[in-house]
Amino acid sequence: MRASAFAYDLPPELIAQEPAPERDAARLMVVGDALEHARIAELASFVPRGSLVVVNDTKVIRARIVGTKESGGKAEVFLVRRLADGTWQAMTKASKPMRPGTRVTSGPLVVTIEGREPNDGLFLVRLAATSGTLDEALAAGARMPLPPYIKRTPTEADEARYQTVFAKTDGAVAAPTAGLHLTEALLARLRDERGCEVDACTLHVGLGTFQPVTTEDLDDHAMHSEPFVVTPSLAASVARARERGAPVLAIGTTVVRALESAATEGGHVRACAEETRILIQPGYRFRVVDRLLTNFHLPESTLLALVSAFAGTERVLAAYRAAVAARYRFFSYGDAMLLSRAEAA
């Protein structure tokens, strides 16, 4: 399918630069036969009783390091993924290309360039601390990696707000943004008032989530890879939901990617720890997820293609046009929509 099928006009001022005053104060568009406009605080009233609610418990790491080379020049290192041997894949930016052996220092944190990946052009770097532990050095010498469309310097407030309340497993360089809206109180209401079961997967969101589609046809797009884990507990939770006929509500597209990647043809969800390159677009047959809470995504993106596959392209694009007209806020710090799976998307 052509990427241009997922184009829409977005005024730049609707790209949220700050989060809502409170997590659950963001607006919520409920997409059904008609559109309903609510707040995230009211989410529980739209969730069927007994649903299985699945969140992504990945934790955003301090991935952006702005420091000084031994020559005195400025340099930036963006951590992408930690490898098994303790090195990191990283992107770099400096006035001159950085060669193996180059060191970049930011406070107590030292980054040493060790080499370059042959296939994707990423650098291999090793981190060290001049004092204290490496975790302490990262906390002091690295910054929270806000998305490129947020045109400001990260603040202390972003340390909390660009992290979900259930984040626990380090590894993401971007937040699973639908989860940013949920509070402990809202999760408690889902459990206590709606009888929902809440469980978690882990999918470490990578920089590929911001990767633009540069091909005319989505089938030709080189989809990024992300590591994910579905625990035996979550696999059992999905099986119980299926047995009792309860819908599965995914909190964000990352949960959709993890669950659908772990599913067999018959819809059985396996416990697994794997990498996924799944590209979901209209025509895909969903095996697990019945409902989806998600933010508003970039035009012509793979994430908008996923949402369109889930709820129907015309329905989703009409909802996006309505969101623009109603001045909803878009992207990571923006508002959200709640969708049900279309019978035929």
The pLDDT of residue 119 is above 90: no
Give pLDDT, residue 149. 94
117 phi/psi in degrees, rounded to 5: -70, 135
Q: What is the mean pLDDT of the chain?
A: 95
Angstrom distance (rounded) from CA 184 to CA 194: 15
Structure tokens at 215: 């091909």
Per-residue model confidence (pLDDT) at position 345: 42
261-302 pLDDT, tens digit per residue, is 999 999 999 999 999 999 999 999 999 999 999 999 999 999
pLDDT at 343: 74
pLDDT at site 211: 78
Q: pTM of the predicted model, to two decimals? A: 0.94
pLDDT band with cut points at 50, 70 and 90 for residue 223: confident
- Answer yes or no: are the C-beta atoms of 80 and 92 closer than 8 Å: no
Residue 344 scores a pLDDT above 60: no
Task: Identify whether residues 188 and 259 lie together within a single domain.
Answer: yes
**Is the model's pLDDT at 85 over the cut of 60?**
yes
Angstrom distances, CA of residue 62 to CA of 136, 272, 319, 330? 11, 27, 34, 24
- DSSP for residue 313: H
d(CA 166, CA 176): 11
Based on the domain organization, do 193 and 279 belong to the same domain? yes
CATH code (residue 105): 2.40.10.240
Residue 117 near residue 124, CB atoms below 8 Å? yes
Q: What single letter denotes the amino acid at residue 67?
A: G
Say whether both 127 and 258 belong to one domain. no
Higher local confidence (pLDDT), 95 or 67? 67
345, part of any domain: no
pLDDT at 109: 98
What's the number of domains the chain is made of? Answer: 2
Please check whether residues 177 and 286 belong to one and the same domain: yes
Does 82 have pLDDT greater than 60? yes
Domain match, 162 and 110 both: no
pLDDT(231) > 60: yes
83 close to 89: Cβ distance less than 8 angstroms: yes
The token pair at 177 is 């943004």
Q: pLDDT tier at 247 (50, 70, 90 boundaries)?
A: very high
**Cα(277)–Cα(250) distance, rounded to whole angstroms?**
18
CB 292 within 8 A of CB 307: yes
> Can you read off the two tokens belonging to residue 333?
């710090």
What's phi and psi for 196, nearest 5 deg?
Answer: -80, 150
- Say which range, 118-132, 179-193, 250-264, 315-329, has the weakest mean pLDDT: 118-132
In terms of C-beta distances under 8 Å and separation of at least 24 residues, what long-range contacts does 128-131 make, across chains too? 130/105
